[in-house]
Chains A and B, each alone.
Chain A
Amino acid sequence: KNEVEQSPQNLTAQEGEFITINCSYSVGISALHWLQQHPGGGIVSLFMLSSGKKKHGRLIATINIQEKHSSLHITASHPRDSAVYICAVNYGGSQGNLIFGKGTKLSVKP
């Protein structure tokens, strides 16, 4: 069965801390996505990766295809980063549906 596992489930950090969220998956994928879900429920795509590393502002996403593992890092965290961060993968082709992890709830305290 294709599974996506995330850790930790919940994470509380102080403003300014460096944050890492991990994602592992069970079989080969065509792409991995990091998504952000705010309390209102809306989902925003942060990154799409098939190899290597991507950076956008204070966010960095890496993927190790051999290890079937990805990490999302947030540098200099801020209370506005508080959200649920979701890892999702495409197992099929590039137009395939997404399989989601359960998400990591991040709370950044001022």
Chain B
Amino acid sequence: EPEVTQTPSHQVTQMGQEVILRCVPISNHLYFYWYRQILGQKVEFLVSFYNNEISEKSEIFDDQFSVERPDGSNFTLKIRSTKLEDSAMYFCASLQRGNNEQFFGPGTRLTVL
């Protein structure tokens, strides 16, 4: 069964460093999402992406964040200068057009020291 994959599973970084989280969505899906979950809190929407551009973003998704689909298969989330409060689990999800069910990746746990 097709699945969304994410790498790395765990990333540890120093405050101020740039990180890139990678996702490979399901191949025939057209809509892509990033969510995050701070430990002990609910999952929060960050950004959605369709047709090579951002379709919606939350107030969390500030200028430190960016997304890209560089090669038609990977979907990346970049955090330019990480802060302690960026420590969270980051989930990628993808959606096939005309179907509401989003498929989630296993997540990347980001720890900022």
Q: Which of B56, B91, B97 has a CB less than 8 Å from the CB of A97?
A: B56
Tell me, yes or no, whether B82 is within 8 Å of chain A by CB.
no
**DSSP majority for the B interface?**
strand
Question: A95 and B95: CB pair below 8 A?
Answer: yes
Chain A interface size band reads 20 to 34
Question: A100 and B100: CB pair below 8 A?
Answer: no
Question: B33 and A97: CB pair below 8 A?
Answer: yes
Question: B101 and A86: CB pair below 8 A?
Answer: no
Number of residues on chain B facing chain A (CB within 8 A): 28
> Which of these binds chain A: B12-20, B73-81, B102-110?
B102-110
Tell me, yes or no, whether B35 is within 8 Å of chain A by CB.
yes
Question: B43 and A96: CB pair below 8 A?
Answer: no
Residue ranges of A at the interface with B (Cβ–Cβ < 8 Å): 30-31, 33, 35, 40-45, 48, 50, 86, 88, 90, 92, 94-103
